[in-house]
Amino acid sequence: MIPNKPDTTPVYNLKVVIHETGIKPDTVRAWERRYGLPQPQRTAGGHRLYSDRDIALIKWLMARQQEGMSISKAVKLYRTLAAEGKDPLVQAETAVSTPTLPDDATLNDLRQNWINACLQFDEETAETTLTQAFALYPPLIVCNEILLKGMADIGNRWYQNQATVQQEHFASALAMRRLHALVAAAPRPTRAGRALIGCPAGEEHTLPPLLLTLMLRHQGWDVLYLGANVPIARLESTIETTNPRLVIFTAQQLHTAASLRETAEFVQQTNIPLAFGGRIFNLIPQLRQHIPGHFLGETINESVATAHQLLHTPQPTPTPPPIPESLQAALAVFQAKQAVIEAAVWQKMRVDSDFYRHIANANLFLAQDILAALQLGNLSWLGTQIKWIETLLQNYEMPVSLLKAYLTTYHQVARETLGENGRPIIEWLAQMVNPAN
């Protein structure tokens, strides 16, 4: 660990500096050439020798980049502090820090202004608000405190029937457009090590992984963003071509968590570590143990710190528990009988005109979640999804009795169709229909 007053004795070669900081050799040479920082000594043979202070300086400059500064502004800040008689490296933290939130109510006001503009479909005001925010605060703080939290607020309003799907989509489009522009303008990589970031098959929610891409790029990492709905097909050739040090996937829903597990198992065969995160892993913490990879954390800042650590020092991939044989058998029989069950449910509920038009979607969502829970190894996780749907129906002033009638019919058909191998599914449905039993 570097002491509070780093030693100036030149004892380390460039290889040690790269290992300690993760910086690329070309980057540190470019900084020396363009800005005169750091200033290593030379051996008689012309080889660079760095001190503890040089290493601390490099880490300090990289931390300022992470906060959104350009390298030229970081160098200017360092020299300004030095000219004032202050040593920027005294008591400096050696770990890469995450942006801290200023103690200022202005951010809350800006976020609320942006939310209000989005809800009113006022693109000009929304963009002007963001421009003002970026003029006042570092980019990563604006993205985290206004875009990410603002979208969470609008999503919650939709869930409570206080905002429409159209309003949510409009806000999302504005946020994604701004994030894509920021990613395109992010500093060039300064660290040796590449990450691939994307979403597993079926996952379309891309704001969190795109924000993670931006934040890691500001830390100096080389990050390739693959986007939404990344299939396993040809993923091996992508990994071979890009040679990443870390693969990161995020999932927000139970069925995409199952896709993520399949992707993680595939990546594990390539001996590349995988990290993961997303809303569903915060809702169901036990689910984290069932993915062969490293959980990033519950917040975006935790995710950045974990990804940074894994990129700097790769760790062995955790091994999840095996799927119980009873659930494997239930999965096989459900896959074989799914279409039969759905057709029978459709026929039995045709007389209910209030719910008839929703049956196709209900069948789709319930089936994909049953399949996901079986693939992940625990049917009890379906309860979280059902509770979410119940609350949604209540918020939209729809009778929850419709959901119970549907689950009752589904249970009856499953009991008649699945047989002994389907008992885990039948028992779970029975518990949903009659929770007290």
Pair (157, 199) in one structural domain: no
In a domain? residue 95: no
**Confidence (pTM):** 0.77
User: Domain residues for 137?
Assistant: 106-183
pLDDT in tens, 100-109: 444 455 889 9
Q: What are phi and psi of 376, to 5 degrees?
A: -90, -20
Claim to verify: residue 68 and residue 160 sit in the same structural domain? no
172 shares its domain with 263:
no
Q: For position 96, what pLDDT does the model report?
A: 40
Out of 175-179, 244-248, 348-352, pick the least confident: 348-352
Q: Which two tokens stand for residue 119?
A: 């809800």
Contacts 24+ apart (CB under 8 A), 406-412: 406/345, 406/349, 406/355, 406/359, 406/362, 407/432, 407/433, 408/433, 409/345, 409/348, 409/349, 410/341, 410/345, 410/366, 412/348
Same domain assignment for residues 169 and 208:
no
Q: Are residues 333 and 300 in the same domain?
A: no
Asked whether residue 341 is assigned to any structural domain, the reply reads yes
Residues 346 and 387 in one domain: yes
CATH code at position 77? 1.10.1660.10
For 226-262, what is each residue's pLDDT tens digit?
Answer: 999 999 988 989 999 999 999 999 999 999 999 999 9
Residues 6+ apart with CB under 8 A from 338: 367
Identify the weakest region by mean pLDDT among 45-49, 179-183, 298-302.
45-49
Asked whether residue 2 is assigned to any structural domain, the reply reads: no
Examine the domain organization and report whether 412 and 296 are in the same domain. Answer: no
Write down which residue in 183, 211, 238 finishes a domain.
183
Q: Using a pLDDT cut of 70, give the percent of the chain over it.
A: 91
Do residues 293 and 200 both lie within one domain?
yes
- The CATH number of residue 139's host domain is 1.10.1240.10
pLDDT band, very low/low/confident/very high, at 405 (cuts 50, 70, 90) = confident
How many structural domains comprise the chain? 4
Identify whether the C-beta of residue 193 lies closer than 8 Å to the C-beta of residue 312. yes
Interval 35-63 mean pLDDT? 87
Given a cut of 90, whether residue 176 has pLDDT beyond it is yes
Predicted confidence band of residue 224 (pLDDT cuts 50, 70, 90): very high
User: How many CB atoms lie under 10 A from the CB of residue 53?
Assistant: 20
For residue 48, what pLDDT band results from cuts at 50, 70 and 90?
Answer: confident
Domain boundary among 312, 345, 376: 312
pLDDT by residue (tens digit) across 183-212? 998 888 888 889 999 999 999 999 999 999
For the chain, the average pLDDT equals: 87
Q: What is the pLDDT of residues 71-109, one digit of tens each?
A: 888 888 888 888 888 888 864 443 344 444 444 558 899
Interval 390-397 mean pLDDT: 69
The pLDDT value given to residue 336:
96
Residues 226 and 292 in one domain: yes
In this structure, the answer to whether residues 192 and 299 fall within a common structural domain is yes
pLDDT for 147 beyond 90:
yes
For residue 2, pLDDT over 70 is answered with no
Q: How many Cβ atoms sit within 10 Å of the Cβ of residue 381?
A: 20
Strands (E), 31-72: 41-42, 48-49
Task: Report the CATH number that the domain containing residue 294 is assigned in CATH.
Answer: 3.40.50.280
Say what the pLDDT of residue 92 is: 45
Least confident range of 93-102, 152-161, 421-430: 93-102
Pick from 348, 334, 339, 347: which is nearest to 382 by CA?
Answer: 334
Instruction: Note the pLDDT of residue 357.
Output: 67
